[in-house]
Amino acid sequence: MKRAPARWLLAALALAAALLVPWRRLFGALQRPFAAAGTWVDARAFGLFDPATASPARVAQLEAQLAAAAVDHASDQALKQENDDLRSRLNFVARAKARMVSADVVARTVGADADRFEIDRGSRDGLAVGMPAVVEDGVLAGKVVSVSDADAVVAAVTDPGVRTAVSLLNGARTIGVATGLDGTMMALTYIPKDVDVEANEIVVTSGLEDRVPSGLVIGVVNAVESAGTDPFKQAVIQPLADPRRVSSVSIIVGSAP
């Protein structure tokens, strides 16, 4: 008999907490160390669980790292890496005169190949749908696809639902819209056959998209495909940013005054 009122009281308290407490921010704070640990494991386990992407050189490098690194040394290295990352992003801010908000990844997509991740910044910090998320010195990792008060979800440029206005750094400065293919690559379609596009050409944002400045590096052309009678050809783009190994990003929220 005593249990029922206690349960109702607890349920009422939980409901009140859900309405009054910024639970998304609290939950994000809870998720953050887990996501950082998972990303750390992913970065160190590269190739061990996914033979298709392993290279002997990379495995040897990891083994050397593992042998050399004591726990405290690894911790120092992580801090140094974070520092370098932040410095390079500041360089981008200075160069592009962009206003940025730094955010940590707190969770990732649960499910098949859609590469989306949740960050701990939201509309309260000035974020809005369509804003670009960059890593390192201005490499586009993805775009904000949904935003709440305290957090936002970023879809990687390779996500099948994401389209990005791009430009190729070739002689013709070919422009177009690249779409995510399968979570690992992008495709630039409807390129007229007479336009010269070659492998290894660099792909950047064209600036023709709302909220996305021009010149953010996306990746390189991996292959160019064309069918015999088709008047257009398609370029497959290999992105430079790997959203699964990103633990923090910068969101471009506008240009500096």
The footprint of another protein (CB under 8 A) covers 2-3, 6-7, 9-10, 14, 24, 27, 30-35, 37-39, 41-42, 45-46, 48-50, 105-114, 116-118, 145-146, 151, 153, 159-161, 182-183, 244
- Residues 89/250, Cβ–Cβ less than 8 Å: yes
Which of 24, 211 has the CB closer to another protein? 24
How far is 46 from 37, CA to CA, in rounded Å?
Answer: 14
Q: Please, what is the minimum distance in Å from the beta carbon of residue 106 to another protein?
A: 6
Cα atoms found within 13 Å of the Cα of residue 6, Cβ hemisphere only: 3
**17 or 256: CB nearest another protein:** 17
Residue 224 CB, shortest distance to another protein, in Å, is 22
Instruction: Give the nearest distance from C-beta 32 to another protein in angstroms.
Output: 7
Q: Which is nearer to another protein, 53 or 91 (CB)?
A: 53
Q: Which is nearer to another protein, 2 or 227 (CB)?
A: 2
User: What's the rounded Cα separation, in Å, for the pair 44 and 37?
Assistant: 11
Distance in Å, CB of 184 to another protein, minimum:
10
Q: Measured from the CB atom, is 51 or 56 closer to another protein?
A: 51
Half-sphere exposure (Cβ direction) of 228: Cα atoms closer than 13 Å: 0
| Cβ neighbours around 7 below 10 Å, total | 10
What radius of gyration, in Å, describes the C-alpha atoms of the chain? 21
Nearer to another protein, 122 or 176 (CB): 122
Assigned token pair, 104 = 């940590």
Do 114 and 244 form a contact (C-beta atoms < 8 A)? no
Q: Measuring CA to CA, which residue among 103, 141, 136, 134 is closest to residue 119?
A: 103
Closer by beta carbon to another protein, 85 or else 159: 159
Nearest to 205 by CA among 117, 92, 107: 92
Beta carbon of residue 62, minimum distance to another protein (angstroms, whole number): 12
DSSP characters for 15-54?
Answer: HHHHHHS-HHHHHHHHHHHHHHHHHHHHHHSTTTS-GGG-
Tokens linked to 109? 């997509």
> Shortest Cβ distance from residue 6 to another protein (Å)?
4
Q: How far is the CB of 190 from another protein (least distance, A)?
A: 17
